Structure 1
Amino acid sequence: MNSANIPLYHIFLTVARSSSISGAAKSLYISQPAVSKSIKKLEESLGVSLIKRSSKGITLTNEGNILYRYLHSAFETISAGEDTLRHIHELGIGHIRIGVSSTLCKHILLPCLKDFLTEYPHMQITISCQSTSHTIELIENNEIDIGLIARPDSAKKLDYIGAGQIHDIFVSSPQYAKGLIERENISSNDIINNSNLILLDKNNLTRKFINNYLSSWEISSDTAMEVNSMELLIDFVKTGLGVGCIIKEFIKEELNNKSLIQIKTPSTIKPRQICFAYSKSLPSDSACTSLINFLKSRTFY
Protein backbone atom coordinates (compact mmCIF):
# COMPACT_ATOMS: atom_id res chain seq x y z
CA MET A 1 0.00 0.00 0.00
CA ASN A 2 1.17 3.50 -0.87
CA SER A 3 1.07 5.32 2.48
CA ALA A 4 0.97 8.67 0.66
CA ASN A 5 -2.52 7.76 -0.56
CA ILE A 6 -4.02 7.45 2.95
CA PRO A 7 -5.07 11.14 3.24
CA LEU A 8 -6.42 10.90 -0.32
CA TYR A 9 -8.51 7.86 0.62
CA HIS A 10 -10.18 9.89 3.36
CA ILE A 11 -11.03 12.65 0.88
CA PHE A 12 -12.32 10.10 -1.64
CA LEU A 13 -14.59 8.50 0.99
CA THR A 14 -16.00 11.90 1.93
CA VAL A 15 -16.69 12.73 -1.75
CA ALA A 16 -18.39 9.35 -2.27
CA ARG A 17 -20.60 9.85 0.79
CA SER A 18 -21.45 13.45 -0.09
CA SER A 19 -21.97 12.74 -3.79
CA SER A 20 -20.52 16.17 -4.48
CA ILE A 21 -17.22 18.01 -4.48
CA SER A 22 -18.72 21.01 -2.71
CA GLY A 23 -20.30 18.87 0.02
CA ALA A 24 -17.02 17.09 0.63
CA ALA A 25 -15.12 20.39 0.72
CA LYS A 26 -17.54 21.72 3.33
CA SER A 27 -17.23 18.60 5.49
CA LEU A 28 -13.43 18.59 5.26
CA TYR A 29 -13.03 22.37 5.72
CA ILE A 30 -10.92 22.67 2.57
CA SER A 31 -11.51 24.32 -0.80
CA GLN A 32 -13.31 22.65 -3.71
CA PRO A 33 -10.21 22.90 -5.94
CA ALA A 34 -8.20 21.11 -3.23
CA VAL A 35 -10.75 18.27 -3.19
CA SER A 36 -10.73 17.97 -6.98
CA LYS A 37 -6.93 18.02 -7.07
CA SER A 38 -6.77 15.25 -4.43
CA ILE A 39 -9.20 13.02 -6.36
CA LYS A 40 -7.24 13.53 -9.55
CA LYS A 41 -3.97 12.71 -7.76
CA LEU A 42 -5.49 9.50 -6.38
CA GLU A 43 -6.77 8.47 -9.80
CA GLU A 44 -3.33 9.03 -11.30
CA SER A 45 -1.72 7.00 -8.52
CA LEU A 46 -4.10 4.06 -9.01
CA GLY A 47 -4.28 4.36 -12.81
CA VAL A 48 -8.09 4.28 -12.90
CA SER A 49 -11.01 6.70 -13.01
CA LEU A 50 -12.91 6.80 -9.72
CA ILE A 51 -15.70 9.33 -10.16
CA LYS A 52 -17.97 10.65 -12.90
CA ARG A 53 -19.20 14.22 -12.85
CA SER A 54 -22.64 15.21 -14.16
CA SER A 55 -25.19 17.96 -13.67
CA LYS A 56 -26.76 15.80 -10.95
CA GLY A 57 -23.53 15.58 -8.99
CA ILE A 58 -20.88 12.91 -8.46
CA THR A 59 -21.27 9.18 -9.09
CA LEU A 60 -18.68 6.46 -8.69
CA THR A 61 -17.27 4.43 -11.53
CA ASN A 62 -17.17 0.65 -11.25
CA GLU A 63 -13.60 0.95 -9.99
CA GLY A 64 -14.67 3.71 -7.63
CA ASN A 65 -17.39 1.49 -6.13
CA ILE A 66 -14.89 -1.33 -5.60
CA LEU A 67 -12.43 1.00 -3.86
CA TYR A 68 -15.21 2.55 -1.77
CA ARG A 69 -16.31 -0.83 -0.39
CA TYR A 70 -12.77 -1.72 0.69
CA LEU A 71 -12.04 1.72 2.13
CA HIS A 72 -15.36 1.83 3.99
CA SER A 73 -14.57 -1.51 5.63
CA ALA A 74 -10.98 -0.47 6.43
CA PHE A 75 -11.93 2.86 7.99
CA GLU A 76 -14.74 1.21 9.99
CA THR A 77 -12.15 -1.26 11.36
CA ILE A 78 -9.82 1.61 12.29
CA SER A 79 -12.69 3.43 13.99
CA ALA A 80 -13.61 0.28 15.93
CA GLY A 81 -9.97 -0.06 17.01
CA GLU A 82 -9.94 3.52 18.26
CA ASP A 83 -13.19 2.95 20.15
CA THR A 84 -11.75 -0.19 21.76
CA LEU A 85 -8.60 1.64 22.86
CA ARG A 86 -10.69 4.48 24.25
CA HIS A 87 -12.85 1.97 26.11
CA ILE A 88 -9.75 0.23 27.51
CA HIS A 89 -8.33 3.54 28.70
CA GLU A 90 -11.58 4.76 30.27
CA LEU A 91 -12.26 1.49 32.15
CA GLY A 92 -8.64 0.72 32.98
CA ILE A 93 -8.69 -2.56 31.06
CA GLY A 94 -5.39 -4.35 30.57
CA HIS A 95 -3.37 -7.50 31.12
CA ILE A 96 -0.44 -7.80 33.55
CA ARG A 97 1.82 -10.87 33.87
CA ILE A 98 3.34 -11.32 37.34
CA GLY A 99 5.91 -13.83 38.56
CA VAL A 100 6.37 -14.73 42.23
CA SER A 101 7.21 -17.54 44.62
CA SER A 102 4.23 -19.30 46.18
CA THR A 103 5.08 -17.97 49.66
CA LEU A 104 5.43 -14.31 48.64
CA CYS A 105 2.30 -14.73 46.53
CA LYS A 106 0.18 -15.74 49.51
CA HIS A 107 1.52 -13.30 52.09
CA ILE A 108 2.37 -10.18 50.06
CA LEU A 109 1.15 -10.28 46.46
CA LEU A 110 -2.46 -11.42 46.90
CA PRO A 111 -3.34 -8.86 49.63
CA CYS A 112 -1.75 -6.20 47.43
CA LEU A 113 -3.64 -7.28 44.30
CA LYS A 114 -6.92 -7.32 46.21
CA ASP A 115 -6.56 -3.58 46.81
CA PHE A 116 -5.29 -2.94 43.26
CA LEU A 117 -8.26 -4.72 41.67
CA THR A 118 -10.64 -2.73 43.83
CA GLU A 119 -9.26 0.35 42.09
CA TYR A 120 -8.90 -1.32 38.66
CA PRO A 121 -11.68 -3.96 38.53
CA HIS A 122 -11.34 -4.59 34.79
CA MET A 123 -7.65 -5.49 34.88
CA GLN A 124 -6.68 -9.05 33.96
CA ILE A 125 -3.87 -10.55 36.06
CA THR A 126 -1.85 -13.65 35.19
CA ILE A 127 0.34 -15.10 37.97
CA SER A 128 3.09 -17.68 37.53
CA CYS A 129 4.74 -19.17 40.60
CA GLN A 130 8.40 -20.12 40.54
CA SER A 131 11.72 -19.38 42.25
CA THR A 132 13.22 -15.90 42.41
CA SER A 133 16.02 -16.81 39.98
CA HIS A 134 13.49 -18.14 37.46
CA THR A 135 11.30 -15.06 37.93
CA ILE A 136 14.26 -12.79 37.13
CA GLU A 137 14.97 -14.83 34.02
CA LEU A 138 11.34 -14.48 32.87
CA ILE A 139 11.46 -10.70 33.36
CA GLU A 140 14.70 -10.38 31.38
CA ASN A 141 13.18 -12.50 28.57
CA ASN A 142 10.02 -10.34 28.58
CA GLU A 143 7.87 -13.38 29.40
CA ILE A 144 6.37 -11.60 32.42
CA ASP A 145 5.99 -7.90 33.21
CA ILE A 146 6.68 -7.70 36.95
CA GLY A 147 8.11 -10.04 39.56
CA LEU A 148 7.93 -10.07 43.35
CA ILE A 149 11.31 -11.30 44.57
CA ALA A 150 13.93 -11.15 47.28
CA ARG A 151 16.23 -8.46 45.91
CA PRO A 152 19.32 -10.03 44.32
CA ASP A 153 22.86 -8.67 44.51
CA SER A 154 23.06 -8.31 40.74
CA ALA A 155 20.45 -8.07 37.92
CA LYS A 156 21.40 -4.58 36.74
CA LYS A 157 18.80 -4.61 33.95
CA LEU A 158 15.97 -4.34 36.49
CA ASP A 159 14.26 -1.50 38.32
CA TYR A 160 12.89 -2.13 41.81
CA ILE A 161 10.05 -1.00 44.05
CA GLY A 162 10.68 -1.80 47.70
CA ALA A 163 8.10 -4.04 49.37
CA GLY A 164 9.67 -4.11 52.82
CA GLN A 165 12.04 -6.36 54.74
CA ILE A 166 11.73 -9.99 55.75
CA HIS A 167 13.53 -11.67 58.64
CA ASP A 168 14.67 -15.29 58.51
CA ILE A 169 14.52 -17.07 61.86
CA PHE A 170 14.87 -20.65 63.05
CA VAL A 171 11.81 -22.10 64.78
CA SER A 172 10.46 -25.39 66.09
CA SER A 173 7.44 -26.68 67.92
CA PRO A 174 7.74 -26.37 71.73
CA GLN A 175 7.49 -30.15 72.03
CA TYR A 176 10.39 -30.76 69.65
CA ALA A 177 12.66 -28.25 71.42
CA LYS A 178 11.81 -29.66 74.86
CA GLY A 179 12.34 -33.25 73.75
CA LEU A 180 15.70 -32.44 72.11
CA ILE A 181 16.96 -30.62 75.23
CA GLU A 182 15.99 -33.56 77.47
CA ARG A 183 17.25 -36.24 75.10
CA GLU A 184 20.62 -34.66 74.28
CA ASN A 185 21.09 -33.00 77.68
CA ILE A 186 21.82 -29.63 76.08
CA SER A 187 20.86 -26.03 76.71
CA SER A 188 18.54 -23.98 74.52
CA ASN A 189 21.63 -22.29 73.04
CA ASP A 190 22.73 -25.58 71.49
CA ILE A 191 19.47 -26.63 69.83
CA ILE A 192 20.40 -25.48 66.33
CA ASN A 193 23.69 -27.43 66.40
CA ASN A 194 22.00 -30.68 67.44
CA SER A 195 18.67 -30.54 65.68
CA ASN A 196 17.24 -32.05 62.55
CA LEU A 197 17.29 -29.04 60.21
CA ILE A 198 14.47 -28.56 57.71
CA LEU A 199 15.33 -26.20 54.85
CA LEU A 200 14.21 -25.29 51.35
CA ASP A 201 15.85 -27.16 48.47
CA LYS A 202 19.41 -26.27 47.52
CA ASN A 203 18.47 -24.45 44.30
CA ASN A 204 16.36 -21.92 46.20
CA LEU A 205 17.93 -18.47 46.73
CA THR A 206 16.65 -18.42 50.32
CA ARG A 207 18.41 -21.73 50.96
CA LYS A 208 21.66 -20.36 49.51
CA PHE A 209 21.34 -17.30 51.73
CA ILE A 210 20.79 -19.45 54.84
CA ASN A 211 23.59 -21.85 53.87
CA ASN A 212 25.99 -18.89 53.82
CA TYR A 213 24.81 -17.87 57.28
CA LEU A 214 25.19 -21.39 58.69
CA SER A 215 28.61 -21.82 57.10
CA SER A 216 29.81 -18.63 58.74
CA TRP A 217 29.17 -20.35 62.10
CA GLU A 218 30.49 -23.72 60.91
CA ILE A 219 27.05 -25.30 61.10
CA SER A 220 26.52 -27.97 58.45
CA SER A 221 23.31 -28.20 56.43
CA ASP A 222 24.40 -31.22 54.37
CA THR A 223 22.01 -33.60 56.13
CA ALA A 224 19.07 -31.19 56.31
CA MET A 225 15.63 -32.40 55.32
CA GLU A 226 14.64 -30.53 52.14
CA VAL A 227 11.22 -29.28 51.04
CA ASN A 228 10.24 -27.29 47.96
CA SER A 229 7.98 -24.63 49.50
CA MET A 230 7.85 -22.44 52.58
CA GLU A 231 4.28 -23.51 53.31
CA LEU A 232 5.31 -27.16 53.45
CA LEU A 233 8.31 -26.25 55.58
CA ILE A 234 6.03 -24.53 58.08
CA ASP A 235 3.79 -27.61 58.24
CA PHE A 236 6.77 -29.92 58.78
CA VAL A 237 8.06 -27.79 61.66
CA LYS A 238 4.62 -27.49 63.27
CA THR A 239 4.32 -31.28 63.12
CA GLY A 240 7.50 -31.56 65.20
CA LEU A 241 9.88 -32.98 62.60
CA GLY A 242 12.72 -30.59 63.39
CA VAL A 243 13.98 -27.00 63.33
CA GLY A 244 13.21 -24.97 60.23
CA CYS A 245 14.30 -21.60 58.88
CA ILE A 246 11.13 -19.62 58.20
CA ILE A 247 10.31 -15.99 57.39
CA LYS A 248 9.20 -14.40 60.66
CA GLU A 249 6.59 -12.11 59.10
CA PHE A 250 4.70 -15.12 57.74
CA ILE A 251 4.27 -16.96 61.06
CA LYS A 252 3.25 -14.11 63.38
CA GLU A 253 0.12 -15.95 64.50
CA GLU A 254 2.03 -19.15 65.32
CA LEU A 255 4.65 -17.20 67.28
CA ASN A 256 1.97 -15.30 69.19
CA ASN A 257 0.02 -18.42 70.16
CA LYS A 258 3.31 -20.26 70.83
CA SER A 259 2.57 -23.17 68.50
CA LEU A 260 6.03 -22.30 67.17
CA ILE A 261 8.93 -20.90 69.17
CA GLN A 262 12.04 -19.10 67.97
CA ILE A 263 15.30 -20.99 68.37
CA LYS A 264 18.40 -19.12 69.50
CA THR A 265 21.09 -18.62 66.84
CA PRO A 266 24.71 -17.49 67.18
CA SER A 267 23.75 -14.11 65.75
CA THR A 268 20.79 -12.34 64.19
CA ILE A 269 20.37 -13.20 60.52
CA LYS A 270 20.65 -10.15 58.29
CA PRO A 271 17.21 -9.05 57.02
CA ARG A 272 16.47 -9.32 53.31
CA GLN A 273 14.80 -6.79 51.03
CA ILE A 274 11.63 -7.82 49.17
CA CYS A 275 10.83 -5.89 46.04
CA PHE A 276 8.79 -5.75 42.89
CA ALA A 277 11.15 -5.93 39.92
CA TYR A 278 10.59 -5.01 36.30
CA SER A 279 12.75 -4.45 33.24
CA LYS A 280 14.30 -1.02 32.71
CA SER A 281 13.14 -1.35 29.11
CA LEU A 282 9.54 -2.17 30.06
CA PRO A 283 7.22 -0.48 27.53
CA SER A 284 5.07 2.29 28.95
CA ASP A 285 2.01 0.06 28.76
CA SER A 286 -0.92 1.64 30.57
CA ALA A 287 -1.75 -1.52 32.53
CA CYS A 288 1.79 -2.02 33.86
CA THR A 289 2.17 1.69 34.52
CA SER A 290 -1.01 1.63 36.62
CA LEU A 291 0.31 -1.23 38.75
CA ILE A 292 3.78 0.32 39.12
CA ASN A 293 2.32 3.63 40.26
CA PHE A 294 0.00 1.81 42.66
CA LEU A 295 2.91 -0.15 44.16
CA LYS A 296 5.01 2.99 44.58
CA SER A 297 2.25 4.57 46.66
CA ARG A 298 1.67 1.53 48.87
CA THR A 299 3.08 0.89 52.33
CA PHE A 300 4.44 -2.62 52.92
CA TYR A 301 6.08 -4.31 55.92
Structure 2
Amino acid sequence: MEVRLLRYFIAVAQQQSISGAAKHLHISQPTLSRQLSDLEIELGTSLFIRGARKISLTNEGVFLLTKAKEIVELIEKTEANFTQSNEIISGEIYIGSGETESIQFIAKTLKDLLINYPAIQFHLYSGSADDIKEKLDIGLIDFGIVIEPTDKQKYNYMQLPTSDIWGVLMRKDNPLANKESIQPKDLIDKPLIISRQTTVDNELSGWFGTDIKDLKIAGTYNLLYNASQMVKEGLGYALCIDKLINTSGNSKLCFKPLKPNIKANLNIVWKKHQVFSNAANTFLEQVRFNIDTYNNDN
Protein backbone atom coordinates (compact mmCIF):
# COMPACT_ATOMS: atom_id res chain seq x y z
CA MET A 1 0.00 0.00 0.00
CA GLU A 2 1.54 3.31 -1.10
CA VAL A 3 1.59 6.33 1.18
CA ARG A 4 0.40 8.40 -1.77
CA LEU A 5 -2.83 6.40 -1.85
CA LEU A 6 -3.35 6.91 1.87
CA ARG A 7 -3.01 10.67 1.36
CA TYR A 8 -5.57 10.49 -1.45
CA PHE A 9 -7.92 8.48 0.76
CA ILE A 10 -7.60 10.97 3.65
CA ALA A 11 -8.32 13.89 1.32
CA VAL A 12 -11.51 12.28 -0.01
CA ALA A 13 -12.67 11.43 3.53
CA GLN A 14 -12.13 15.03 4.60
CA GLN A 15 -13.61 16.67 1.50
CA GLN A 16 -16.47 14.14 1.30
CA SER A 17 -16.35 14.35 -2.48
CA ILE A 18 -14.15 13.09 -5.30
CA SER A 19 -14.20 16.41 -7.14
CA GLY A 20 -13.34 18.43 -4.03
CA ALA A 21 -10.48 16.10 -3.13
CA ALA A 22 -9.15 16.10 -6.71
CA LYS A 23 -9.08 19.89 -6.70
CA HIS A 24 -7.33 19.90 -3.33
CA LEU A 25 -4.74 17.36 -4.51
CA HIS A 26 -4.26 19.02 -7.92
CA ILE A 27 -5.00 15.83 -9.87
CA SER A 28 -7.79 14.93 -12.28
CA GLN A 29 -11.05 13.47 -10.98
CA PRO A 30 -10.85 10.30 -13.17
CA THR A 31 -7.30 9.63 -11.93
CA LEU A 32 -8.36 9.96 -8.30
CA SER A 33 -11.43 7.74 -8.82
CA ARG A 34 -9.27 5.04 -10.41
CA GLN A 35 -6.69 5.20 -7.60
CA LEU A 36 -9.38 4.82 -4.94
CA SER A 37 -10.94 1.87 -6.77
CA ASP A 38 -7.50 0.23 -6.93
CA LEU A 39 -7.12 0.79 -3.16
CA GLU A 40 -10.46 -0.91 -2.47
CA ILE A 41 -9.46 -3.83 -4.68
CA GLU A 42 -6.08 -4.10 -2.94
CA LEU A 43 -7.74 -4.19 0.49
CA GLY A 44 -10.62 -6.39 -0.66
CA THR A 45 -13.32 -4.20 0.86
CA SER A 46 -15.50 -1.16 0.17
CA LEU A 47 -14.26 2.01 1.83
CA PHE A 48 -16.87 4.50 0.62
CA ILE A 49 -20.63 4.89 0.46
CA ARG A 50 -21.09 6.95 -2.69
CA GLY A 51 -24.15 9.17 -2.30
CA ALA A 52 -25.72 11.65 -4.72
CA ARG A 53 -24.16 14.70 -3.08
CA LYS A 54 -21.38 13.47 -0.85
CA ILE A 55 -19.24 10.47 -0.05
CA SER A 56 -19.20 8.89 3.40
CA LEU A 57 -17.12 6.07 4.86
CA THR A 58 -18.03 2.49 5.54
CA ASN A 59 -17.04 0.97 8.89
CA GLU A 60 -13.91 -0.34 7.19
CA GLY A 61 -13.25 3.12 5.80
CA VAL A 62 -13.52 4.71 9.26
CA PHE A 63 -11.00 2.19 10.58
CA LEU A 64 -8.60 2.85 7.69
CA LEU A 65 -8.91 6.62 8.14
CA THR A 66 -7.66 6.38 11.72
CA LYS A 67 -4.72 4.18 10.76
CA ALA A 68 -3.93 6.17 7.60
CA LYS A 69 -3.65 9.41 9.58
CA GLU A 70 -1.29 7.74 12.05
CA ILE A 71 0.89 6.31 9.25
CA VAL A 72 1.07 9.60 7.32
CA GLU A 73 1.78 11.58 10.51
CA LEU A 74 4.61 9.20 11.43
CA ILE A 75 6.13 9.44 7.96
CA GLU A 76 5.92 13.25 7.97
CA LYS A 77 7.50 13.34 11.43
CA THR A 78 10.37 11.15 10.22
CA GLU A 79 10.89 13.15 7.03
CA ALA A 80 10.93 16.44 8.95
CA ASN A 81 13.75 15.26 11.19
CA PHE A 82 15.82 14.08 8.20
CA THR A 83 15.70 17.54 6.62
CA GLN A 84 17.44 19.21 9.57
CA SER A 85 20.86 20.78 9.08
CA ASN A 86 23.95 19.03 10.39
CA GLU A 87 25.35 22.34 11.60
CA ILE A 88 22.25 23.87 13.19
CA ILE A 89 20.25 21.74 15.62
CA SER A 90 16.69 21.87 14.39
CA GLY A 91 13.78 19.51 13.94
CA GLU A 92 10.63 18.62 15.81
CA ILE A 93 9.91 17.22 19.27
CA TYR A 94 6.64 15.46 20.06
CA ILE A 95 5.54 15.38 23.71
CA GLY A 96 2.42 13.83 25.20
CA SER A 97 1.10 14.63 28.66
CA GLY A 98 -1.89 14.24 30.86
CA GLU A 99 -3.32 17.20 32.77
CA THR A 100 -0.77 18.20 35.39
CA GLU A 101 0.70 21.37 36.86
CA SER A 102 4.09 19.71 36.38
CA ILE A 103 3.84 20.57 32.68
CA GLN A 104 5.24 23.94 33.84
CA PHE A 105 8.59 22.19 34.38
CA ILE A 106 8.49 20.95 30.77
CA ALA A 107 7.51 24.44 29.59
CA LYS A 108 10.52 25.96 31.36
CA THR A 109 12.76 23.27 29.87
CA LEU A 110 11.47 24.04 26.38
CA LYS A 111 12.00 27.75 26.99
CA ASP A 112 15.63 27.11 28.02
CA LEU A 113 16.11 24.87 25.00
CA LEU A 114 14.70 27.33 22.47
CA ILE A 115 16.92 30.15 23.71
CA ASN A 116 19.92 28.19 22.44
CA TYR A 117 18.24 26.31 19.59
CA PRO A 118 15.46 28.51 18.15
CA ALA A 119 15.10 26.32 15.04
CA ILE A 120 13.58 23.48 17.13
CA GLN A 121 9.80 23.17 17.04
CA PHE A 122 7.71 21.35 19.65
CA HIS A 123 4.32 19.66 19.38
CA LEU A 124 2.16 18.88 22.42
CA TYR A 125 -0.49 16.16 22.70
CA SER A 126 -2.88 16.04 25.65
CA GLY A 127 -4.54 12.82 26.75
CA SER A 128 -4.76 10.15 29.41
CA ALA A 129 -1.73 8.05 30.40
CA ASP A 130 -3.15 5.17 28.36
CA ASP A 131 -3.45 7.44 25.29
CA ILE A 132 0.11 8.70 25.79
CA LYS A 133 1.58 5.19 26.06
CA GLU A 134 -0.26 4.05 22.94
CA LYS A 135 1.17 6.95 20.91
CA LEU A 136 4.63 6.30 22.34
CA ASP A 137 4.45 2.65 21.34
CA ILE A 138 3.61 3.40 17.71
CA GLY A 139 6.11 6.27 17.45
CA LEU A 140 3.76 9.23 17.10
CA ILE A 141 5.34 11.01 20.07
CA ASP A 142 8.90 11.01 21.40
CA PHE A 143 8.23 11.55 25.11
CA GLY A 144 5.37 11.10 27.53
CA ILE A 145 4.66 12.71 30.91
CA VAL A 146 2.85 10.08 32.99
CA ILE A 147 2.07 9.27 36.60
CA GLU A 148 4.16 6.56 38.28
CA PRO A 149 4.58 3.62 38.16
CA THR A 150 6.40 3.19 34.84
CA ASP A 151 6.76 -0.09 32.94
CA LYS A 152 10.55 -0.44 33.17
CA GLN A 153 10.55 -3.28 30.64
CA LYS A 154 9.22 -1.02 27.89
CA TYR A 155 10.37 2.48 28.76
CA ASN A 156 13.34 4.49 29.91
CA TYR A 157 12.40 7.29 32.25
CA MET A 158 13.43 10.12 34.54
CA GLN A 159 11.40 11.24 37.53
CA LEU A 160 10.40 14.89 37.36
CA PRO A 161 11.20 16.93 40.48
CA THR A 162 7.55 17.92 40.92
CA SER A 163 4.45 16.02 42.00
CA ASP A 164 0.67 16.38 42.16
CA ILE A 165 -1.75 16.01 45.06
CA TRP A 166 -4.93 13.97 44.71
CA GLY A 167 -8.21 15.24 46.08
CA VAL A 168 -11.89 15.86 45.38
CA LEU A 169 -13.47 18.59 43.27
CA MET A 170 -16.92 19.50 44.57
CA ARG A 171 -19.39 22.37 44.81
CA LYS A 172 -18.71 24.99 47.49
CA ASP A 173 -22.27 24.59 48.81
CA ASN A 174 -21.69 20.87 49.43
CA PRO A 175 -21.62 19.81 53.12
CA LEU A 176 -18.22 18.14 52.59
CA ALA A 177 -16.78 21.49 51.51
CA ASN A 178 -16.52 22.45 55.20
CA LYS A 179 -13.96 19.70 55.83
CA GLU A 180 -10.21 20.35 55.56
CA SER A 181 -9.62 16.95 53.93
CA ILE A 182 -11.64 14.02 52.64
CA GLN A 183 -11.44 10.47 54.00
CA PRO A 184 -12.66 7.27 52.31
CA LYS A 185 -15.75 7.06 54.54
CA ASP A 186 -16.88 10.50 53.29
CA LEU A 187 -17.18 9.25 49.69
CA ILE A 188 -18.11 5.60 50.08
CA ASP A 189 -21.78 6.18 49.15
CA LYS A 190 -21.34 9.29 46.99
CA PRO A 191 -21.59 9.52 43.17
CA LEU A 192 -18.01 9.66 41.89
CA ILE A 193 -16.59 10.96 38.63
CA ILE A 194 -13.20 9.32 38.07
CA SER A 195 -10.36 9.41 35.57
CA ARG A 196 -10.24 6.62 32.97
CA GLN A 197 -6.51 6.04 33.57
CA THR A 198 -5.68 2.47 34.59
CA THR A 199 -2.94 3.48 37.05
CA VAL A 200 -5.31 5.90 38.74
CA ASP A 201 -7.80 3.10 39.39
CA ASN A 202 -5.10 1.15 41.21
CA GLU A 203 -4.06 4.11 43.39
CA LEU A 204 -7.61 5.02 44.35
CA SER A 205 -8.62 1.41 44.99
CA GLY A 206 -5.77 1.23 47.51
CA TRP A 207 -6.90 4.47 49.16
CA PHE A 208 -10.53 3.35 49.43
CA GLY A 209 -9.53 -0.13 50.58
CA THR A 210 -11.80 -1.69 47.96
CA ASP A 211 -11.97 -2.03 44.19
CA ILE A 212 -13.03 1.36 42.90
CA LYS A 213 -15.38 -0.34 40.44
CA ASP A 214 -17.44 -1.49 43.44
CA LEU A 215 -18.16 2.12 44.41
CA LYS A 216 -20.90 4.39 43.10
CA ILE A 217 -19.38 5.56 39.81
CA ALA A 218 -21.53 8.27 38.22
CA GLY A 219 -19.17 8.73 35.28
CA THR A 220 -15.63 8.89 34.00
CA TYR A 221 -13.54 11.60 32.35
CA ASN A 222 -10.55 11.98 30.09
CA LEU A 223 -9.90 15.72 30.58
CA LEU A 224 -10.85 17.38 33.87
CA TYR A 225 -12.30 20.61 32.53
CA ASN A 226 -15.31 18.82 31.07
CA ALA A 227 -15.71 16.79 34.26
CA SER A 228 -15.73 20.02 36.29
CA GLN A 229 -18.83 21.12 34.39
CA MET A 230 -20.55 17.92 35.51
CA VAL A 231 -19.54 18.69 39.11
CA LYS A 232 -21.00 22.22 38.78
CA GLU A 233 -24.34 20.65 37.87
CA GLY A 234 -24.23 18.44 40.96
CA LEU A 235 -23.73 15.17 39.09
CA GLY A 236 -21.01 13.93 41.42
CA TYR A 237 -17.61 14.39 43.05
CA ALA A 238 -14.59 14.40 40.73
CA LEU A 239 -11.51 12.59 42.02
CA CYS A 240 -8.64 14.52 40.50
CA ILE A 241 -5.32 16.28 41.06
CA ASP A 242 -5.02 19.81 42.39
CA LYS A 243 -4.48 23.14 40.60
CA LEU A 244 -6.03 22.17 37.28
CA ILE A 245 -9.37 23.89 37.82
CA ASN A 246 -9.70 27.45 39.09
CA THR A 247 -11.56 27.29 42.42
CA SER A 248 -10.87 30.85 43.55
CA GLY A 249 -13.07 33.93 43.56
CA ASN A 250 -16.58 33.41 42.23
CA SER A 251 -16.04 29.80 41.24
CA LYS A 252 -18.78 27.45 42.43
CA LEU A 253 -16.19 24.74 43.01
CA CYS A 254 -13.60 23.88 45.65
CA PHE A 255 -10.85 21.28 45.97
CA LYS A 256 -10.21 19.21 49.11
CA PRO A 257 -7.16 16.93 49.47
CA LEU A 258 -7.49 13.26 50.33
CA LYS A 259 -6.55 11.93 53.75
CA PRO A 260 -4.43 9.79 53.92
CA ASN A 261 -2.60 11.89 51.37
CA ILE A 262 -1.97 10.53 47.86
CA LYS A 263 0.93 12.16 46.03
CA ALA A 264 1.31 11.51 42.31
CA ASN A 265 4.94 11.44 41.19
CA LEU A 266 5.50 12.02 37.50
CA ASN A 267 7.99 10.58 35.04
CA ILE A 268 9.09 11.62 31.59
CA VAL A 269 9.25 8.37 29.63
CA TRP A 270 10.43 7.22 26.22
CA LYS A 271 10.68 3.87 24.44
CA LYS A 272 13.67 1.68 25.12
CA HIS A 273 16.17 1.54 22.24
CA GLN A 274 14.55 4.65 20.78
CA VAL A 275 16.63 6.35 18.08
CA PHE A 276 16.09 10.08 18.54
CA SER A 277 16.52 13.02 16.22
CA ASN A 278 19.11 15.66 17.16
CA ALA A 279 16.29 17.85 18.43
CA ALA A 280 14.86 15.14 20.70
CA ASN A 281 18.32 14.23 22.02
CA THR A 282 19.06 17.86 22.81
CA PHE A 283 15.72 18.22 24.60
CA LEU A 284 16.45 15.13 26.70
CA GLU A 285 19.83 16.56 27.69
CA GLN A 286 18.11 19.80 28.72
CA VAL A 287 15.55 17.89 30.80
CA ARG A 288 18.36 16.00 32.58
CA PHE A 289 20.25 19.25 33.23
CA ASN A 290 17.16 21.04 34.58
CA ILE A 291 16.28 18.11 36.88
CA ASP A 292 19.82 18.07 38.30
CA THR A 293 19.76 21.86 38.75
CA TYR A 294 16.37 21.76 40.51
CA ASN A 295 17.46 18.96 42.85
CA ASN A 296 20.72 20.73 43.72
CA ASP A 297 18.89 24.00 44.46
CA ASN A 298 16.33 22.29 46.68
- In the superposition, the TM-score normalised over structure 2's length comes to 0.56
**Aligned: 1:211 with 2:209:** no
1 CA distance for matches of 2:288 and 2:134? 23
| Number of aligned positions between the proteins | 208
1 CA distance for matches of 2:204 and 2:97? 20
- In the superposition, the TM-score normalised over structure 1's length comes to 0.55
| 1:70-106 residue CA offsets vs partner (Å, 9 max, x unmatched) | xxxxxxxxxxxxxx999724432112222223x2499
Q: Is the 8 A contact 1:100 1:148 kept in 2?
A: yes
Deviation at 1:257, TM superposition (A): 8.1
Q: Is the 8 A contact 2:169 2:237 kept in 1?
A: yes
Q: Identity over aligned residues, as a percent?
A: 17
Aligned to 2:174: 176
**Aligned: 1:285 with 2:282:** no
Q: Is the 8 A contact 1:192 1:263 kept in 2?
A: no
**Aligned: 1:95 with 2:88:** no
Unaligned runs of 5+ in 1: 1-83, 182-187
Aligned to 2:133: 136
Please, what is the CA RMSD of the aligned residues? 3.9
1 CA distance for matches of 2:176 and 2:135? 45
Q: Against the structure 1 CA distance between its residues 86 and 129, is the aligned structure 2 distance closer, same or farther, given a 3 Å change threshold?
A: closer
- The code of the aligned residue for 1:198 comes to I
Q: Against the structure 1 CA distance between its residues 104 and 171, is the aligned structure 2 distance closer, same or farther, given a 3 Å change threshold?
A: closer
1 CA distance for matches of 2:171 and 2:109? 30
Q: Against the structure 1 CA distance between its residues 224 and 119, is the aligned structure 2 distance closer, same or farther, given a 3 Å change threshold?
A: farther
Give the secondary-structure state (helix, strand or coil) at the position aligned to 1:233. helix
Structure with larger Rg: 1
Q: Is the 8 A contact 1:159 1:280 kept in 2?
A: yes
| Higher share of residues assigned helix | 1
Give the secondary-structure state (helix, strand or coil) at the position aligned to 1:298. helix
Q: Is the 8 A contact 2:97 2:126 kept in 1?
A: yes
Q: Against the structure 1 CA distance between its residues 248 and 256, is the aligned structure 2 distance closer, same or farther, given a 3 Å change threshold?
A: farther
Q: Is the 8 A contact 1:96 1:288 kept in 2?
A: yes
Aligned to 1:113: 110
Q: Against the structure 1 CA distance between its residues 141 and 223, is the aligned structure 2 distance closer, same or farther, given a 3 Å change threshold?
A: closer
- The code of the aligned residue for 1:211 comes to S
Range with bigger deviation, 217-226 or 289-298: 217-226
Deviation at 1:114, TM superposition (A): 4.3
2 CA distance for matches of 1:284 and 1:199? 35
2 CA distance for matches of 1:268 and 1:135? 29
**1:274 aligned residue (253, 256, 266):** 266
